Chains A and B, each alone.
Chain A
Amino acid sequence: MELILLITILIAAALINISVKNRIVIEFLSVGASIVAFLGSTIIALKVSDFGIYSPSVFFSVDSLGAIVMLIIALVGLAATVYSVQYLRRETAQNIIGFTRVKQYFVLLDLFLAAMFLAVTTSNPIFAWISIEATTLSTAFLISFYNKPAAMEAAWKYLIINSIGLLLGFLGTLLYFTYVNSLPGNGFADWQLLTATAAYLNPALAKIAFIFVLIGYGTKIGLAPMHTWLPDAHSKAPIPISALLSGVLLNVAFIVMLRFKLITDASIGPDFSRQLLIVFGLLSVVVASLINFTQKNYKRLLAYHSIENMGIATLGFGFGGLGVYAAMLHIIYHALIKSALFLSSGIIFLKYGSTRIAKVRGIITTLPVTGVLFLIGFFIITGTPPFGMFFTKILVFSAGIKTYPTVTIVALFSAAILFISFFHHATTMVFGKKPPEINRGKENAWLTFPPLVLIAVVFYLSFSLPPFLYKLITNAVLQY
């Protein structure tokens, strides 16, 4: 029941916001909605960890993986919403935007969150497709939020490329129904049914279907070579949206793809899908790390870095075995840290008014707290030993070295290249000599708090997993 509740509340908040005139109310509504969403999804996650699967109605069913991603959406969504209140106030103060835009922003934000929840929790592939398309549509305007040519261009590319990708995905999705539709019934098939009847699927058809799905949703996940829209969109969107896009949306698309992988494996065994995943994962890792080596814009830096991490997760699922577990953890860590990094980079952006790495120097002197946050986040995300991401990476690679040594070694070295470039950029930004015109300013707690919380969570997770989360992950691993 909570599920219906939280989704309806989100949508309701959005709809009410359309008519509300008062800014405070809007902010209050959306923050409240996201808090409710957070609580609801925690309850659901607990339930799932107890009963294995949770489906309030035939239309909805949340499995372990879904629960995990729900938690991510809820947490990051909450952080982003809280953050955006203050962030937009700052921008209105610098009169970059007006009230109507703020309203639009929150409406679309809530819709976006709702769509993502739907995509994860629905039990029907087509509906999942519809909701993912809905995320595209709701974020398109958010990306063109600042209404500058560059933002416009990013949004246009985002719209066109994703639509194409998703249409291909649509075709692939429907190809899975070839057998199910021949069955009597109203043709409303959910994941379980598809998986159950996958064995009767024509193998060649299953292969084609998976290719379409992988290309289609891969576009949304941002796997090379379909990643091209991602850096543009992520770098041009408002910071909280970039955090959501990079931290959450990718994962949503990812798990939908994974569910199709499940069906395909049930039909023709895992090898086929694994090989495809490895190819695309490796491509993404290599391309992202190479491009990042000479990156001039820190938001794009982060964006490409998400591509790389998605690639690593994909590799993990491709390697299978231990890699799956590692990839799950990796996705979780990445979602939280990457959004934290984006949020803190937002503070930097507000301070320096530029997203160029060359312009940003000496954060540690101008914004001490943010600087520390940024640095810690950077250390975690690049897989520096004490933190979780190091172990996930190592586990992924150690899963790979058995079967695909060359792939692993290439991935390892591109990871090293990425670390070096990232290290160089991050240190020059954080330390280094601050430009004279920027003076030390005090930081707003509302802006520094959300990323702080996210990083704290990752800290906690990287040293001890709470039992219910552990149970969820293990179940998910067993399932996928």
Chain B
Amino acid sequence: MTYIGTTFIVLAFLLFFKYTGSFDFATVKFNVALIPLPIKNAIFIFALVGLGTKASIIPFHIWLPAAHPAAPSHVSALMSGVMIKTGIYMIIRLFLDVLQPIPAWWGLTVLALGSISALLGVLYALTEHDIKRLLAYHSIENIGIILLGLGSALTFYSLGMPSLALLGLAAALFHTLNHAIFKSLLFLSAGSVINEMHTGNMEEYGGLIKYMPQTAMFFLIGSIAISALPPFNGFFSEWLTFQTIFQGIARLHSSSQWIFVVAAGSLAITGGLALACFVKAFGTTFLARPRSAEVAHAKESALSMRISMGTLALLSLLFGIFSGPVTILLEKISKSFTIFQNVTSLVSVSSRQSFNVGNGFASVSAPVLFGFLVIAIFLTTFIVRYLVNKNQKVTIGGTWDCGTDLTPRMEITATGFARSIILIFKNVLKPSIQHEIEYRDDESRYLPKSREVTLSVGNIYHSYFYRPMQTMIHELSLRAKNIQSGNINAYISYIFIALAIALFLVL
């Protein structure tokens, strides 16, 4: 699958070579002016398809969810954390550096693609109940968010607003960094869960928080970070991206403004859906009662794993609290691009770590927010625990369920949790619901013996894009096989015909 992408990349580079006579970026950049605009656009499209496949942007993403469950967890951590970022790196390198100057619609295209893959990525993640596939789809979503920053950067630069472009690039880079951190954290903790449970199917988890509390804690932190809740790092990079897009809405007009509005909307809804998705993931994995006997045998993961997860969790908190300085640093880095050599930065960190964007347009102070939350929590705990009604009796009882005895099959499943959202977005996801009802007896249809509901999501990319392509090639190949009919006279006549045609073309 990725080889198609590689082919497109090769094609783009060949086009470079054709016009600049070199594969070396420096040289290409030096005489990029030799490339005529239509060819440049062709290069853009090829490169976008190719690198999009590498970075697994929808609709070129199908290999990623397929690859993740196959790979061991630490490998998937690398794959999502690092590997797909190489595509992003190449996109930045090519479009922001090598191919400059570029037309505005490139940036807008990237922006549109970004919003699509962010929104669809999280929707597909909601439909998954294999934990690693779920995380894989979240990688797609985050790549989309990164692209949002990147696309706005491209657009701003080609519309002559370099400082905004710088902001967008910084946002993209920051989110890349953050995503690497919390996605690795999530994959590692998911991996240790899978090690204990020997399955990736979340429907068989449940109640794991009692058996592996620390892993649960780490997964919770990861979920908070990835669903962009303050004060963890995910929030601040998404915040920056939002600010960039807001600037776009504020400064631009007509169609481009609308694209930015759509981007902002998709980003907002993506945030909400990601939240829902991780409530589902954490809830069905760690909370409530076990759904399978396996859970009882689960043990806390090994110390080394816990240490590495702990480090990542701490990192994601620190990157959140010190998001201001980090962003400044990233902007410094992005200034190494020739186009950003002397561009005034929009981000500034004042005293008290207040972190301003676009002189007073937006500002937030992560440490203060964090401190504020902590203080409030402590205050509440203190008052409620020790001031009001100290000698309160707490008794442990069973969960109330209208008097019936509660079985694990009564609690909500991952599929059930996402069902309502899936049905709301059914035009996009094309879900298929099959009911299999077995009745006690054929006469009365009122006493079902067992009822099985399968809720599956149609993979529109396979059915409308890849499958047809494959069948087409297959057809062609079958046609081509007619050449090899096995009849020797036919073979000889090929030679004769080839000879005749060649002779007649020449003479």
Residues on A close to B: CB < 8 A? Answer: 156-157, 160-161, 164-165, 168, 204, 207-208, 211-212, 214-215, 219, 224-226, 228-229, 231, 272, 276, 287, 290-294, 394, 397-398, 401-402, 405, 408-409, 412-413, 415-417, 419-420, 423
Contacts and interface: CB of A to CB of B under 8 A. Distances in A.
Given A212-B499, A225-B494, 20 more contacts: A157-B491, A164-B495, A165-B495, A168-B495, A204-B507, A208-B507, A211-B506, A215-B499, A219-B495, A225-B483, A225-B497, A226-B495, A228-B484, A229-B491, A287-B480, A291-B477, A292-B477, A397-B14, A412-B14, A415-B7
A161 B499 contact: no
Interface in B447-482: 473-474, 476-481
A412 B499 contact: no
Contacts of A294: 474, 477-478, 481
Contact of B7 (A208, A291, A413): A413
B505 to A, nearest CB: 9
A204 B507 CA distance: 8
Contacts of A211: 499, 502-503, 506
A402 B480 CA distance: 29
Nearest to A228: B491
A226 B7 contact: no
B49 to A, nearest CB: 12
B488 A225 contact: no
B18 A405 contact: yes
Nearest to A211: B502
A37 to B, nearest CB: 33
Contact of B3 (A164, A226, A398, A423): A423
20 contacts: A157-B488, A207-B506, A211-B503, A212-B499, A226-B498, A228-B483, A287-B480, A287-B483, A290-B480, A293-B477, A294-B474, A294-B478, A398-B14, A398-B18, A401-B14, A401-B18, A412-B10, A416-B4, A420-B3, A420-B4
Given A164-B492, A229-B491, A293-B477, A401 B506 contact: no
Nearest to A165: B495
B494 A412 contact: no
A161 B7 contact: no
Contacts of A161: 488, 491-492, 495
A363 B291 CA distance: 39
A276 B10 CA distance: 26
Interface residues of B, number: 33
A408 to B, nearest CB: 7
A208 B503 contact: yes
Q: Which 10 A-B pairs have the closest CB atoms?
A: A290-B480, A293-B477, A228-B491, A416-B7, A225-B494, A401-B14, A294-B477, A211-B502, A401-B18, A398-B17
B83 interface: no
Contacts of B14: 394, 397-398, 401, 408, 412
Interface in B396-411: none
A291 B484 CA distance: 9
A225 B498 contact: yes
B11 A409 contact: yes
Contacts of B474: 293-294
B476, B478, B480, B506 interface centre (most CB from chain A within 10 Å): B480
- Interface class of chain B by DSSP: helix
B263 interface: no
Nearest to B7: A416
A388 to B, nearest CB: 16
B15 interface: yes
A264 to B, nearest CB: 12
A291 B483 CA distance: 9
Contacts of A215: 495, 498-499, 502
A38 B476 CA distance: 44
A461 to B, nearest CB: 22
A154 to B, nearest CB: 11
Nearest to A286: B480
A405 B14 CA distance: 9
A181 B28 CA distance: 54
Contacts of B17: 398, 401
B491 to A, nearest CB: 4
B502 A276 contact: yes
A349 to B, nearest CB: 22
Contacts of A224: 483
Contact of B492 (A160, A287, A290, A394): A160
A294 B475 CA distance: 9
Nearest to A231: B484
A291 B17 CA distance: 31
Contacts of A413: 7
Contacts of A408: 14
Nearest to B488: A157
B472 to A, nearest CB: 11
B488 A160 contact: yes
Contacts of B477: 290-294
Nearest to B480: A290
A164 to B, nearest CB: 6
Nearest to A291: B480
Contacts of A287: 480, 483
A161, A164, A211, A405 interface centre (most CB from chain B within 10 Å): A211
B183 to A, nearest CB: 26
Given A207-B506, A208-B503, A417-B473, A225 B495 contact: yes
Contact of A412 (B11, B473, B478, B479): B11
Nearest to B23: A398
A419 B492 contact: no
B39 to A, nearest CB: 10
Interface in B275-293: none
Nearest to A423: B3
A412 to B, nearest CB: 6
Contacts of B492: 160-161, 164
B494 A226 contact: yes
Interface in B1-32: 3-4, 6-7, 10-11, 14-15, 17-18, 23
A215 B10 CA distance: 33
Contacts of B494: 225-226, 228
A397 B12 CA distance: 12
Nearest to B494: A225
Interface string B143-172: 000000000000000000000000000000
A208, A224, A290 interface centre (most CB from chain B within 10 Å): A290
Nearest to B5: A416
A212, A219, A398, A420 interface centre (most CB from chain B within 10 Å): A398
A397 B23 CA distance: 13
Contacts of B478: 294
Contacts of A231: 484
Contacts of B495: 161, 164-165, 168, 215, 219, 225-226
A409 B39 CA distance: 14
Contacts of B480: 287, 290-291
Nearest to B495: A226
B3 A293 contact: no
Given A211-B499, A405-B18, A290 B491 contact: no
Given A228-B491, A293-B473, A293-B474, A168 B499 contact: yes
A277 to B, nearest CB: 12
A191 B67 CA distance: 56
A158 to B, nearest CB: 10
A348 B14 CA distance: 38
Contacts of A225: 483, 494-495, 497-498
Given A215-B499, A228-B491, A419 B3 contact: yes
A379 B85 CA distance: 24
B18 A402 contact: yes
Contacts of A165: 495
A394 B478 CA distance: 29
A142 B29 CA distance: 57
Contacts of B507: 204, 208
A409 B11 CA distance: 7
Contacts of B481: 291, 294
A334 to B, nearest CB: 19
